[in-house]
Structure 1
Amino acid sequence: MIIGTLLNIEHTRPGERQPTEYYSKVIEDNKEFIYIDYPVNKKTNKTAFLPIGAIFSITYMTKDETIYHFKSELIDRVKMNVPALAIRKPDKSHEKIQRRQFVRIETAIDVAIHPLDNSFIPFTTVTRDISGGGISIILPDHITWGEDKEVDVWLAFGEHTGKMRYLNMRAKTVFVKKEKSTVKIGSFQFTTITKHDQQHIIRYCFEKQRERRKKEISV
């Protein structure tokens, strides 16, 4: 793990059923500890102050785009060039993880959905979130969805050059739910996707996290 590596951190507080997600980065390390900057809550974009002894679930991506996961513990708060946390280095629990476990980020990407069975008219919408394993999108109210319904998905990514990149894959419905009684959200898992397209999505997610982290630091 090199200096500057972006970390995705999950921590479940006492009394909570679901973990809270944070991001951080590696500042320094030695034989025993990894030093990271203070984690930032992904939903609120606020710096988190976690208790000594807190147990983390951490994922990160290497330069060759391999994803690793390990459990760690917050050992101490330290003063370096910036305030930092000392966490325990990974041991045998350090392992590669499956593609479906990739970190999901909230972002709006233009998407077109086409049926495989002519059961509805193709439509365009935007994503609510995305990961290397799937997407959540805003669904039209007039379309009825069943479990495991498979569709053809086209995603339109804006490049830094100003050009558009279009990715095509198939996906199946995981669940459909209503938010605030008005917006219908559909969650989809990719069933057929090329390695190249999946890696592009993974890079996109990590780049977005880096951009958000830079904005947080500059505030």
Structure 2
Amino acid sequence: MLSIGDTLLLETVSDDGKKQVFRSKVLDIKDKSFLIGPPIKEASNRTEPIILEHTLFSAQFVAKNQKVFQFNTKVLKKNLEKITTFEMELPKEEGFVPIQRRSFIRINTQLKVKVFSLNNEFSPFDTYTTNISAGGLKLVLPDEILLEKAQTLICSFVLPLQDDSVYVRQLCKVVRITDHISKRYASLKFEQINETDRQSIIRYCFERQLALRKKGF
């Protein structure tokens, strides 16, 4: 499930509601624990070596099968050697929980999209997204394109993942048309999305979120 080299998002678990988010990488895996390097604090983008033993975290990561999992862990021990590492508690297999639809990450991003009509109601057109999640996306509509709520269409786009690019062609339904200043937008919901495409989109959103946080956004 968890593999060496996986990037973790670590959110502190506390009763006072003051949560902190870190990121780190898995350096080694043992029978009941795993090692990570000094976590980087998202708020400052700096290494945070001062984390106490028994600190509780809720962790998220993208597995090799491209699914996003969440699990609970805690700091067991801090190792002070040439490279400072933290030994973390490794849960049993049932402790890894796949992220459900209600937890889908929605991120702002501009992806080029080709839109096709199912019933020749319009000619194919090119546009781009303003945001995307595994549940749907939001498009900028060209001036000459008129879509209606509940209209069904096909969107094709490429997800630029870290180690590859994934082509997605997905049936969508218009759920909302909005106007803002001089532009019109269409919010679309994915219809009958397959698990492979859904997990690819989740992975893209996860990687994009990490990249933005690394840049300080």
Normalising by structure 1, we get a TM-score of 0.59
1:155 Cα deviation from its structure 2 partner: 1.2
Conservation of the 8 A alpha-carbon contact between 1:71 and 1:93: no
CA shift at 1:113, angstroms?
Answer: 4.3
Question: In structure 1, what is the equivalent of residue 110 of structure 2?
Answer: 108
Query: 1:61-140 residue pairs with structure 2 within 5 A?
Result: 61-91=62-92, 94-97=95-98, 100=101, 101=103, 107-113=109-115, 124-131=126-133, 133-137=134-138, 139-140=140-141
* 1:41-80 deviation per Cα after TM superposition (whole angstroms, max 9, x unaligned): 3xx6813648535432223333344443211234454434
Q: Structure 1 regions of 5+ residues with no counterpart? A: none
1:193 alignment counterpart: 193
Q: Distance in 2 between matches of 1:184 and 1:32?
A: 53
Q: Hey, what's the Cα distance between the residues in 1 that align with 2:89 and 2:4?
A: 16
User: Which SS does the other structure have where 1:192 is aligned?
Assistant: coil
Q: 1:86 to 1:129 in 2, by over 3 A?
A: farther
Which whole-Å deviations, capped at 9, do the CAs of 1:155-175 have from their partners, x for residues lacking one?
134699xxx864211235678
SS of equivalent residue, structure 2 residue 191: strand
Gaps of at least 5 residues in structure 2 are: none
**Partner in structure 2 of residue 30 of structure 1:** 30
In 2, Cα distance between equivalents of 1:10 and 1:173:
35
Between the aligned residues of both structures, percent identity stands at 23
Q: What SS class does the counterpart of residue 68 from structure 1 fall into?
A: strand
How far did 1:26 drift?
0.5
Report deviation, 1:110. Answer: 0.9
Question: Residues 5, 92 of structure 1: CA spacing in aligned structure 2 closer, same or farther, 3 A cutoff?
Answer: closer
* Bigger radius of gyration among the two: 2
Specify the alignment match of 2:9 in structure 1: 8
**Partners in 2 of 1:188 and 1:62 — Cα distance?**
27
Cα separation, 1, equivalents of 2:81 and 2:189: 42
| Superposed counterparts of 1:151-170, under 5 Å | 151-157=153-159, 166-170=167-171
In 1, are the aligned partners of 2:67 and 2:199 still within 8 Å (CA)? Answer: no
**Preserved contact between residue 159 and residue 201 of structure 2 (Cα < 8 Å):** no
Structure 2 length as normaliser, TM-score? Answer: 0.59
Is the 2:166–2:200 contact (alpha carbons within 8 Å) kept by the matching residues of 1?
no
The CA deviation at 1:152 is 2.9
- What is the alpha-carbon root mean square deviation over aligned residues? 4.9
Distance of 1:83 and 1:188 partners within structure 2: 46
Higher relative contact order (CA 8 A, sep 6+): 2
Aligned counterparts of 1:198 and 1:51: Cα–Cα separation in 2:
35
Amino acid at match of 1:156: V
Q: Is the 1:66–1:96 contact (alpha carbons within 8 Å) kept by the matching residues of 2?
A: no
Residues 1:190 and 1:11: Cα distance change in structure 2 (over 3 Å) = farther
> In the comparison of the two structures, how many residue pairs are matched?
204
